[in-house]
Amino acid sequence: MAKISPLMAVPGLVFAGFVGLALVGMFREDPNSLPSAREGQPAPPVVLDKFPGKEMFSDETLRDGNVKLVNYWASWCAPCRVEHPNLEALFNEGIPIYGINYKDQLANAEAFLKELGDPYTAIGRDEKGRMAIDWGLYGVPETYVVDGEGKIVLRFAGPVTQRVIENTLRPAMEKAAGQ
């Protein structure tokens, strides 16, 4: 009788491992969201360049006792244009939004705000993207809900739409305000 090698089981075990990972991914709470290592942790230090003619913000601003949004954006980002009217609506409601212009040319960023409006309470520039690395940025646009103590409550990757505002941002802001 022929002897069966234990190595013959390896392909089946590898396949079973892939199936297991796929099942875990499919049954996550939100399979489309990207995980964030920063949620529940203090916001990383604010290290930005000045945006000429605009108010700057700092670490202390993020720990001022109020819930706020921090939004990474760029003039070259098409989804940033899509979300812009929604950010303006939130700003008009009195929600403070702190903008971080990401890896952008100043003239283009200024033209973007001149054309579409400025929904930001204060803005800084992350020209080299170093602060973005500390925040765990995947790409623009990304919006963070930060509680009054400067802790990141939520990270949302993608454009802020009405559905995102109602189903994701508002619940996170209410939760952060009630802590």
Per-residue pLDDT, 23: 61
Residues with Cβ within 8 Å of residue 37, at least 6 apart in sequence: 136
Per-residue pLDDT, 101: 98
78-112: buried (b, 16+ CB within 10 Å) or exposed (e) per residue? ebbeebbebbbebbeeebbbbbbbbebeeeebbeb
- Quote the DSSP letter at residue 104: -
Residues with Cβ within 8 Å of residue 142, at least 6 apart in sequence: 71, 72, 155, 156, 157, 158
Angle, to 10 degrees, between the axis of helix 106-116 and the axis of helix 78-92? 50
Return the bridge partners of 72, or none. 100, 142
Task: Give the phi and the psi of residue 77 in degrees, each rounded to 5.
Answer: -95, 110
Ranges of the chain with pLDDT below 50: 30-34
Query: Rounded distance, CA 155 to CA 53, Å?
Result: 28
Does residue 98 contact residue 121 with C-beta atoms inside 8 Å? yes
Q: Where are the alpha helices (DSSP H) in the chain?
A: 10-26, 59-62, 78-92, 106-116, 130-135, 162-164, 170-177
Percent of the chain with pLDDT over 90: 74
pTM, 2 dp: 0.79
Per-residue pLDDT, 31: 44
Per-residue pLDDT, 32: 45
Per-residue pLDDT, 150: 94
Per-residue pLDDT, 28: 52
Q: Where are the alpha helices (DSSP H) in 64-105?
A: 78-92
pLDDT in tens, 6-17: 777 777 777 767
